[in-house]
Structure 1
């Protein structure tokens, strides 16, 4: 298995409160990329929200390949958003991207 750091972009259609951001981060915390060498060296943030509502979630995923890692990351971020009260139309997600790879040999 390989550990991937995946970035999942999206957009909050409406403004998002600090409490909602905190709730999403809490739900994603077990997948915080700070636990990886890449996350530590690059100081990756778990959730970044820009003015205008665009956001990026960066999470750590273990998977057999890049495609599986991206798919799992989108599912995890989607679940965190839904569990925090955001409908799919309230926070649509973009294409996941591999930010880093930490292969174990």
Structure 2
């Protein structure tokens, strides 16, 4: 299961999603720090298959965890070469550009 939270601000749709077990944890590697903050990520707890419809609507996404990031890669939203790993935890961001 994954936590998803959708923010709608000034025409943008931001999706924050993380694997359930990562919520509230902090990861560090060198100078990098990844905080999986409850106030940002804790929303609805859903099956990872629900991620497709949420990513279809999102203009920005912040994804943390093996399940979230792998699903986004599988769906073509994230380039696997652009995934950041901090203490082995994958983190990816997506921005949809409209011209």
| Same-fold call, TM cutoff 0.5 | no
* Larger strand fraction of residues: 2
TM-score by length of structure 2 reads 0.29
TM-score by length of structure 1 reads 0.28
Q: Which has the higher contact order (CA 8 A, sep 6+)?
A: 1
